Structure 1
Amino acid sequence: MKKYLSLFLIIILTLSIISCTIDENDVETSEENTDIKEDEGAVDEKEKELKEITLYFTDKQAMNLLTEKRIIEIDESMKVDEIATLIIQELKKGPIESNRLPTLPAEIEILDVKVVGNIAEVNLSSKELTGGSTQEILLASSIVKSLAQLEEINKVQFYVDGKIQESLMGHLYIGEPYTEEMINEMIDTK
Protein backbone atom coordinates (compact mmCIF):
# COMPACT_ATOMS: atom_id res chain seq x y z
CA MET A 1 0.00 0.00 0.00
CA LYS A 2 2.86 2.34 0.81
CA LYS A 3 4.25 1.64 -2.64
CA TYR A 4 1.00 2.69 -4.25
CA LEU A 5 0.76 5.79 -2.12
CA SER A 6 4.36 6.72 -2.92
CA LEU A 7 3.79 6.12 -6.61
CA PHE A 8 0.60 8.16 -6.51
CA LEU A 9 2.35 11.08 -4.76
CA ILE A 10 5.22 10.97 -7.27
CA ILE A 11 2.76 11.11 -10.17
CA ILE A 12 0.84 14.01 -8.58
CA LEU A 13 4.06 15.88 -7.87
CA THR A 14 5.32 15.33 -11.43
CA LEU A 15 2.04 16.52 -12.94
CA SER A 16 2.08 19.60 -10.71
CA ILE A 17 5.61 20.50 -11.79
CA ILE A 18 4.75 19.99 -15.48
CA SER A 19 1.58 22.06 -15.27
CA CYS A 20 3.40 24.92 -13.51
CA THR A 21 6.07 24.93 -16.20
CA ILE A 22 3.46 25.04 -18.97
CA ASP A 23 1.61 27.91 -17.28
CA GLU A 24 4.82 29.94 -16.95
CA ASN A 25 5.58 29.46 -20.67
CA ASP A 26 2.04 30.46 -21.59
CA VAL A 27 2.32 33.60 -19.48
CA GLU A 28 5.64 34.52 -21.10
CA THR A 29 4.22 33.97 -24.58
CA SER A 30 1.12 35.93 -23.69
CA GLU A 31 3.23 38.82 -22.39
CA GLU A 32 5.35 38.75 -25.56
CA ASN A 33 2.19 38.88 -27.71
CA THR A 34 0.93 41.84 -25.71
CA ASP A 35 4.27 43.62 -26.20
CA ILE A 36 4.11 42.97 -29.93
CA LYS A 37 0.54 44.29 -30.13
CA GLU A 38 1.53 47.40 -28.18
CA ASP A 39 4.46 47.97 -30.55
CA GLU A 40 2.18 47.57 -33.58
CA GLY A 41 -0.22 50.07 -32.04
CA ALA A 42 2.61 52.53 -31.58
CA VAL A 43 3.52 52.19 -35.25
CA ASP A 44 -0.11 52.83 -36.25
CA GLU A 45 -0.24 55.90 -34.03
CA LYS A 46 2.97 57.25 -35.55
CA GLU A 47 1.68 56.76 -39.06
CA LYS A 48 -1.75 58.35 -38.56
CA GLU A 49 -2.11 61.97 -37.67
CA LEU A 50 -5.06 64.34 -37.35
CA LYS A 51 -4.56 67.58 -39.23
CA GLU A 52 -6.71 70.67 -38.95
CA ILE A 53 -7.46 72.28 -42.29
CA THR A 54 -9.30 75.43 -43.27
CA LEU A 55 -11.94 75.21 -45.97
CA TYR A 56 -13.55 78.13 -47.74
CA PHE A 57 -17.29 78.33 -48.45
CA THR A 58 -19.49 81.24 -49.42
CA ASP A 59 -21.87 83.21 -47.26
CA LYS A 60 -25.61 83.04 -47.99
CA GLN A 61 -25.42 86.17 -50.16
CA ALA A 62 -22.59 84.67 -52.27
CA MET A 63 -20.51 87.78 -51.65
CA ASN A 64 -17.69 86.59 -49.38
CA LEU A 65 -15.79 83.47 -48.52
CA LEU A 66 -16.14 82.21 -44.97
CA THR A 67 -13.72 79.81 -43.33
CA GLU A 68 -14.62 76.52 -41.73
CA LYS A 69 -12.22 74.26 -39.84
CA ARG A 70 -12.16 70.51 -40.40
CA ILE A 71 -10.04 67.66 -39.11
CA ILE A 72 -8.69 65.15 -41.63
CA GLU A 73 -6.74 61.99 -40.94
CA ILE A 74 -3.44 61.69 -42.75
CA ASP A 75 -0.43 59.46 -42.36
CA GLU A 76 3.29 59.99 -42.85
CA SER A 77 3.36 58.06 -46.10
CA MET A 78 0.77 60.27 -47.85
CA LYS A 79 1.98 62.42 -50.70
CA VAL A 80 0.89 66.03 -51.01
CA ASP A 81 -1.32 65.00 -53.98
CA GLU A 82 -3.30 62.72 -51.68
CA ILE A 83 -3.68 65.38 -48.99
CA ALA A 84 -4.80 67.90 -51.63
CA THR A 85 -7.35 65.36 -52.87
CA LEU A 86 -8.68 64.95 -49.30
CA ILE A 87 -9.10 68.72 -49.04
CA ILE A 88 -11.04 68.82 -52.33
CA GLN A 89 -13.23 65.94 -51.11
CA GLU A 90 -13.99 67.90 -47.94
CA LEU A 91 -14.97 70.92 -50.07
CA LYS A 92 -17.33 68.70 -52.07
CA LYS A 93 -19.03 67.55 -48.86
CA GLY A 94 -20.10 71.15 -48.34
CA PRO A 95 -20.20 73.26 -45.19
CA ILE A 96 -21.31 72.01 -41.81
CA GLU A 97 -22.27 75.43 -40.48
CA SER A 98 -25.72 76.63 -41.56
CA ASN A 99 -24.68 80.18 -42.49
CA ARG A 100 -22.46 78.90 -45.33
CA LEU A 101 -23.17 77.58 -48.81
CA PRO A 102 -21.10 75.12 -50.85
CA THR A 103 -18.78 76.48 -53.52
CA LEU A 104 -17.95 73.14 -55.15
CA PRO A 105 -21.23 71.44 -56.05
CA ALA A 106 -21.30 67.69 -55.42
CA GLU A 107 -22.29 67.02 -59.04
CA ILE A 108 -19.04 68.51 -60.40
CA GLU A 109 -16.61 65.64 -60.86
CA ILE A 110 -12.99 66.08 -59.87
CA LEU A 111 -11.03 63.93 -62.33
CA ASP A 112 -7.62 64.32 -60.75
CA VAL A 113 -5.52 66.37 -58.34
CA LYS A 114 -1.75 66.37 -58.79
CA VAL A 115 1.01 68.53 -57.41
CA VAL A 116 3.88 69.27 -59.78
CA GLY A 117 6.59 71.42 -58.24
CA ASN A 118 4.64 73.93 -56.17
CA ILE A 119 1.58 73.95 -58.44
CA ALA A 120 -1.57 71.96 -57.67
CA GLU A 121 -3.21 70.81 -60.88
CA VAL A 122 -6.96 70.40 -60.38
CA ASN A 123 -8.66 68.61 -63.27
CA LEU A 124 -12.46 69.03 -63.44
CA SER A 125 -14.93 67.27 -65.70
CA SER A 126 -16.83 69.55 -68.09
CA LYS A 127 -20.04 67.66 -67.22
CA GLU A 128 -22.20 69.77 -64.91
CA LEU A 129 -19.57 72.55 -64.96
CA THR A 130 -22.00 75.41 -65.49
CA GLY A 131 -22.84 78.58 -63.64
CA GLY A 132 -22.60 82.33 -63.57
CA SER A 133 -19.53 84.47 -63.08
CA THR A 134 -20.01 84.73 -59.31
CA GLN A 135 -20.31 80.97 -58.93
CA GLU A 136 -17.20 80.47 -61.07
CA ILE A 137 -15.16 82.96 -59.03
CA LEU A 138 -16.32 81.41 -55.74
CA LEU A 139 -15.53 77.89 -56.98
CA ALA A 140 -12.01 78.80 -58.10
CA SER A 141 -11.38 80.94 -55.01
CA SER A 142 -12.43 78.30 -52.51
CA ILE A 143 -10.25 75.66 -54.18
CA VAL A 144 -7.19 77.92 -54.43
CA LYS A 145 -7.44 79.20 -50.86
CA SER A 146 -8.16 75.74 -49.41
CA LEU A 147 -5.19 74.15 -51.21
CA ALA A 148 -2.78 77.06 -50.64
CA GLN A 149 -2.67 76.29 -46.91
CA LEU A 150 -0.37 73.36 -47.73
CA GLU A 151 3.27 74.45 -47.62
CA GLU A 152 4.03 72.59 -50.83
CA ILE A 153 1.38 74.47 -52.86
CA ASN A 154 1.87 78.08 -53.98
CA LYS A 155 -0.37 78.07 -57.07
CA VAL A 156 -3.34 76.20 -58.50
CA GLN A 157 -3.77 75.46 -62.20
CA PHE A 158 -7.24 74.43 -63.35
CA TYR A 159 -7.82 71.90 -66.12
CA VAL A 160 -11.09 70.90 -67.75
CA ASP A 161 -11.16 67.35 -69.10
CA GLY A 162 -7.36 67.18 -68.84
CA LYS A 163 -6.67 70.38 -70.80
CA ILE A 164 -5.93 73.96 -69.89
CA GLN A 165 -8.97 75.94 -71.03
CA GLU A 166 -9.74 79.64 -71.14
CA SER A 167 -12.34 79.35 -68.39
CA LEU A 168 -14.17 76.94 -66.12
CA MET A 169 -17.70 78.14 -66.81
CA GLY A 170 -17.13 80.80 -69.45
CA HIS A 171 -16.28 83.81 -67.29
CA LEU A 172 -13.01 83.52 -65.34
CA TYR A 173 -9.73 83.14 -67.26
CA ILE A 174 -7.88 80.01 -66.06
CA GLY A 175 -5.10 79.81 -68.64
CA GLU A 176 -2.50 80.56 -65.94
CA PRO A 177 -2.15 79.25 -62.36
CA TYR A 178 -3.73 81.26 -59.55
CA THR A 179 -2.00 82.25 -56.32
CA GLU A 180 -3.81 82.97 -53.09
CA GLU A 181 -2.83 86.64 -53.44
CA MET A 182 -4.55 86.82 -56.84
CA ILE A 183 -7.70 85.36 -55.31
CA ASN A 184 -7.56 87.81 -52.39
CA GLU A 185 -7.71 90.66 -54.90
CA MET A 186 -10.92 89.23 -56.41
CA ILE A 187 -12.95 88.32 -53.34
CA ASP A 188 -13.24 89.10 -49.63
CA THR A 189 -12.60 86.42 -47.06
CA LYS A 190 -13.94 86.53 -43.53
Structure 2
Amino acid sequence: MINLKSKKIYMISILVVILILYFSYLNFFKTREVKLYFSDKQAQYLLPESRKLKVSNLYQSIVEELIEGPESKDLEITIPSQTRLIDIKLEDGTALVNFSKELKSKHWGGSTGEIITVYSIVNTLTSLEEIDQVQILISAKKIDTLVGHLELDKPLGFNSKLLIQ
Protein backbone atom coordinates (compact mmCIF):
# COMPACT_ATOMS: atom_id res chain seq x y z
CA MET A 1 0.00 0.00 0.00
CA ILE A 2 1.23 3.47 -0.89
CA ASN A 3 1.75 5.73 2.08
CA LEU A 4 0.57 9.34 2.30
CA LYS A 5 4.06 10.81 1.74
CA SER A 6 4.51 8.84 -1.50
CA LYS A 7 1.09 10.00 -2.73
CA LYS A 8 2.02 13.65 -2.08
CA ILE A 9 5.34 13.30 -3.93
CA TYR A 10 3.56 11.60 -6.83
CA MET A 11 0.89 14.34 -7.04
CA ILE A 12 3.48 17.13 -6.85
CA SER A 13 5.52 15.46 -9.61
CA ILE A 14 2.46 15.24 -11.85
CA LEU A 15 1.61 18.88 -11.16
CA VAL A 16 5.16 20.01 -12.02
CA VAL A 17 5.10 18.07 -15.31
CA ILE A 18 1.71 19.58 -16.22
CA LEU A 19 2.97 23.11 -15.47
CA ILE A 20 6.13 22.59 -17.53
CA LEU A 21 4.08 21.33 -20.48
CA TYR A 22 1.62 24.20 -20.16
CA PHE A 23 4.27 26.93 -20.15
CA SER A 24 6.21 25.26 -22.98
CA TYR A 25 3.00 25.16 -25.02
CA LEU A 26 2.33 28.85 -24.38
CA ASN A 27 5.87 29.86 -25.32
CA PHE A 28 5.76 27.81 -28.53
CA PHE A 29 2.73 29.72 -29.82
CA LYS A 30 3.68 33.13 -28.45
CA THR A 31 4.39 35.74 -31.14
CA ARG A 32 6.31 38.99 -31.22
CA GLU A 33 5.92 41.86 -33.65
CA VAL A 34 9.20 42.74 -35.37
CA LYS A 35 10.32 45.20 -38.03
CA LEU A 36 12.04 43.78 -41.09
CA TYR A 37 13.93 46.29 -43.22
CA PHE A 38 13.66 45.96 -47.01
CA SER A 39 14.77 48.17 -49.88
CA ASP A 40 12.61 50.86 -51.43
CA LYS A 41 11.96 50.65 -55.20
CA GLN A 42 14.96 52.89 -55.97
CA ALA A 43 17.32 50.76 -53.84
CA GLN A 44 18.42 53.85 -51.93
CA TYR A 45 16.71 53.47 -48.55
CA LEU A 46 15.44 50.86 -46.13
CA LEU A 47 11.80 50.79 -45.14
CA PRO A 48 10.30 48.74 -42.31
CA GLU A 49 7.69 46.04 -42.76
CA SER A 50 6.06 44.65 -39.63
CA ARG A 51 5.59 40.92 -39.11
CA LYS A 52 4.35 38.78 -36.25
CA LEU A 53 6.72 35.86 -35.74
CA LYS A 54 6.81 33.01 -33.26
CA VAL A 55 9.06 33.68 -30.29
CA SER A 56 10.56 30.19 -30.51
CA ASN A 57 13.56 30.45 -32.89
CA LEU A 58 12.87 34.19 -33.29
CA TYR A 59 16.28 35.22 -34.66
CA GLN A 60 16.28 32.40 -37.20
CA SER A 61 12.72 33.25 -38.27
CA ILE A 62 13.63 36.92 -38.72
CA VAL A 63 16.56 36.20 -41.03
CA GLU A 64 14.59 33.59 -42.98
CA GLU A 65 11.79 36.13 -43.48
CA LEU A 66 14.36 38.65 -44.77
CA ILE A 67 15.58 36.05 -47.28
CA GLU A 68 11.94 35.34 -48.32
CA GLY A 69 11.50 39.01 -49.11
CA PRO A 70 8.83 41.62 -48.50
CA GLU A 71 5.08 41.09 -48.60
CA SER A 72 4.46 44.63 -49.85
CA LYS A 73 4.73 45.31 -53.58
CA ASP A 74 6.30 48.69 -52.72
CA LEU A 75 9.42 47.04 -51.29
CA GLU A 76 12.24 45.02 -52.83
CA ILE A 77 14.34 42.05 -51.73
CA THR A 78 17.72 42.74 -50.14
CA ILE A 79 19.21 39.23 -49.93
CA PRO A 80 19.72 36.86 -52.89
CA SER A 81 16.94 34.25 -52.77
CA GLN A 82 19.41 31.35 -53.09
CA THR A 83 21.02 32.34 -49.77
CA ARG A 84 20.54 30.01 -46.81
CA LEU A 85 20.88 30.83 -43.16
CA ILE A 86 23.26 28.27 -41.68
CA ASP A 87 23.15 29.45 -38.08
CA ILE A 88 22.52 32.45 -35.89
CA LYS A 89 23.54 32.91 -32.28
CA LEU A 90 23.74 35.72 -29.78
CA GLU A 91 26.95 36.35 -27.82
CA ASP A 92 27.16 39.33 -25.45
CA GLY A 93 24.76 41.47 -27.49
CA THR A 94 26.32 40.55 -30.84
CA ALA A 95 24.34 38.46 -33.29
CA LEU A 96 26.65 36.13 -35.23
CA VAL A 97 24.79 35.44 -38.47
CA ASN A 98 26.24 32.63 -40.56
CA PHE A 99 25.08 32.54 -44.19
CA SER A 100 25.78 30.19 -47.08
CA LYS A 101 28.24 31.31 -49.77
CA GLU A 102 25.34 32.42 -52.01
CA LEU A 103 25.00 35.65 -50.02
CA LYS A 104 28.27 36.66 -51.66
CA SER A 105 28.37 34.64 -54.89
CA LYS A 106 24.80 35.47 -56.01
CA HIS A 107 24.83 39.11 -54.89
CA TRP A 108 23.97 41.62 -57.64
CA GLY A 109 26.85 43.93 -56.63
CA GLY A 110 27.32 47.68 -56.49
CA SER A 111 28.18 49.80 -53.48
CA THR A 112 24.59 50.78 -52.74
CA GLY A 113 23.39 47.21 -53.27
CA GLU A 114 25.96 45.95 -50.78
CA ILE A 115 25.06 48.61 -48.21
CA ILE A 116 21.33 47.91 -48.57
CA THR A 117 21.86 44.14 -48.16
CA VAL A 118 24.13 44.43 -45.15
CA TYR A 119 22.06 47.02 -43.32
CA SER A 120 18.81 45.23 -44.09
CA ILE A 121 20.21 42.42 -41.94
CA VAL A 122 21.92 44.66 -39.37
CA ASN A 123 19.07 47.15 -38.87
CA THR A 124 16.47 44.39 -38.64
CA LEU A 125 18.34 42.45 -35.96
CA THR A 126 19.52 45.48 -33.98
CA SER A 127 15.92 46.68 -33.80
CA LEU A 128 15.57 44.00 -31.13
CA GLU A 129 16.44 45.32 -27.69
CA GLU A 130 18.81 42.46 -26.88
CA ILE A 131 20.96 42.84 -30.03
CA ASP A 132 23.46 45.73 -30.18
CA GLN A 133 25.47 44.72 -33.24
CA VAL A 134 25.71 42.09 -35.98
CA GLN A 135 28.66 40.14 -37.35
CA ILE A 136 28.00 38.66 -40.79
CA LEU A 137 29.74 35.36 -41.50
CA ILE A 138 29.90 33.22 -44.61
CA SER A 139 30.37 29.49 -44.07
CA ALA A 140 31.31 30.21 -40.43
CA LYS A 141 34.14 32.61 -41.40
CA LYS A 142 34.48 36.37 -41.10
CA ILE A 143 34.67 38.11 -44.44
CA ASP A 144 36.41 41.37 -45.32
CA THR A 145 33.57 42.56 -47.55
CA LEU A 146 30.54 41.27 -49.40
CA VAL A 147 31.27 42.69 -52.87
CA GLY A 148 34.15 45.09 -52.24
CA HIS A 149 32.64 48.30 -50.87
CA LEU A 150 31.82 47.84 -47.18
CA GLU A 151 34.13 46.47 -44.48
CA LEU A 152 32.55 43.51 -42.69
CA ASP A 153 35.48 42.23 -40.61
CA LYS A 154 33.95 43.80 -37.46
CA PRO A 155 30.39 43.81 -36.09
CA LEU A 156 28.10 46.60 -37.28
CA GLY A 157 25.39 48.57 -35.46
CA PHE A 158 22.12 50.19 -36.53
CA ASN A 159 22.43 52.72 -39.39
CA SER A 160 19.68 55.35 -39.26
CA LYS A 161 21.06 57.22 -42.31
CA LEU A 162 19.48 54.62 -44.60
CA LEU A 163 15.98 55.28 -43.28
CA ILE A 164 13.68 57.86 -44.85
CA GLN A 165 13.15 60.54 -42.22
TM-score by length of 2: 0.77
How far the C-alpha of 1:105 sits from its partner, in A, is 2.1
TM-score by length of 1: 0.68
User: Is contact 1:129–1:168 with CA below 8 Å preserved after alignment?
Assistant: no
Count residues with an aligned counterpart.
144
User: Is contact 1:129–1:169 with CA below 8 Å preserved after alignment?
Assistant: no
In structure 2, C-alpha distance between the alignment counterparts of 1:111 and 1:42, rounded to whole Å:
31
In structure 1, C-alpha distance between the alignment counterparts of 2:106 and 2:89, rounded to whole Å:
20
1:53 aligns with 2:34: yes
Match of 2:139 among 161, 168, 173: 161
1:126 aligns with 2:107: no
- SS of 1:170 mapped into structure 2: coil
Which residue of structure 1 lines up, in the alignment, with residue 55 of structure 2? Answer: 74
- SS of 1:146 mapped into structure 2: helix
Please, which runs of 5 or more residues in structure 2 have no aligned partner?
Answer: 1-18
User: Is contact 1:160–1:168 with CA below 8 Å preserved after alignment?
Assistant: no
Question: Which structure dedicates a bigger proportion of its chain to helix?
Answer: 1
Cα deviation digits, residues 55-106 of structure 1 (max 9, x gap): 000111101111100011224xxxxxx3211100111111111110011121
Cα RMSD (Å): 2.2
Which residue of structure 2 lines up, in the alignment, with residue 36 of structure 1? Answer: none
User: Is contact 2:85–2:98 with CA below 8 Å preserved after alignment?
Assistant: yes
- SS of 1:96 mapped into structure 2: coil
How far the C-alpha of 1:184 sits from its partner, in A, is 2.1
1:85 aligns with 2:60: yes
How far the C-alpha of 1:47 sits from its partner, in A, is 4.7
- SS of 1:153 mapped into structure 2: coil
Q: Which runs of 4+ in 1 moved over 4 A?
A: 39-43
How far the C-alpha of 1:113 sits from its partner, in A, is 1.1
CA distance 1:112–1:41, change in 2 (3 Å): closer
CA distance 1:47–1:84, change in 2 (3 Å): closer
